[in-house]
């Protein structure tokens, strides 16, 4: 029996797997999530919170790290998408007026500037 393996046409989209079939980015994000979430769990358990609530607190802390590791849309990671959203919503102006730079108006402004320069040169 023959088994077929699909090979992507664009090999630039293939990511190199490092360890446990995860990329470097995923390993760093999962490690950071574990480093941030486990202390939260143990601190909550130390203060007498029941195990279910401690696990939920740990999950709330770890979910952003997992999103940064796994979420990708149109080949862009989550931080690039968030940067674009912040720029579109908050940094750039809401109304972008369409302004043209008329070539003939530029020529008229240049001619006016030259006439002014001649007047100044004649006076001096």
Q: Is 47 helix (H, G, I), strand (E, B) or coil?
A: coil
Q: Are 51 and 14 in contact (CB under 8 A)?
A: no
- Which pTM value belongs to this model? 0.58
Mean pLDDT, the chain, as a whole number? 86
Label each residue of 69-124 as H, E or C: HHCEECCEEHHHHHHHHHHHHHHCCCCCCCCCCCHHHHHHHHHHHHHHHHHHHHHC
Is the pLDDT assigned to residue 2 strictly greater than 70?
no
Residue 6 contacts residue 14 (beta carbons within 8 Å): no
**For the chain, what are the domain ranges?**
16-123
53-107 pLDDT tens trace: 999 999 999 999 999 988 888 888 899 999 999 998 888 877 878 888 888 989 9
For the segment 38-59, the average pLDDT, to the nearest whole number, is: 92
Q: Which of 42, 41, 31 is nearest to 68 (CA)?
A: 31
For residue 44, name the pLDDT band (cuts at 50, 70, 90). Answer: very high
């Amino acid at each position: 029996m023959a088994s077929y393996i699909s090979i992507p046409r664009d090999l630039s989209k293939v990511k190199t797997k490092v360890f446990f079939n995860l990329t470097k980015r995923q390993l760093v994000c999962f490690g950071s999530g574990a480093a941030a979430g486990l202390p939260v769990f143990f601190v909550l358990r130390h203060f007498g919170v029941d195990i279910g609530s401690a696990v939920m607190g740990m999950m709330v802390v770890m979910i952003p790290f997992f999103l940064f590791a796994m979420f990708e849309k149109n080949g862009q990671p989550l931080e690039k998408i968030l940067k674009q959203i912040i720029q579109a919503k908050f940094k750039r102006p809401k109304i972008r007026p369409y302004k043209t730079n008329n070539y003939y108006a530029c020529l008229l402004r240049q001619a006016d500037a030259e006439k002014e320069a001649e007047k100044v040169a004649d006076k001096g």
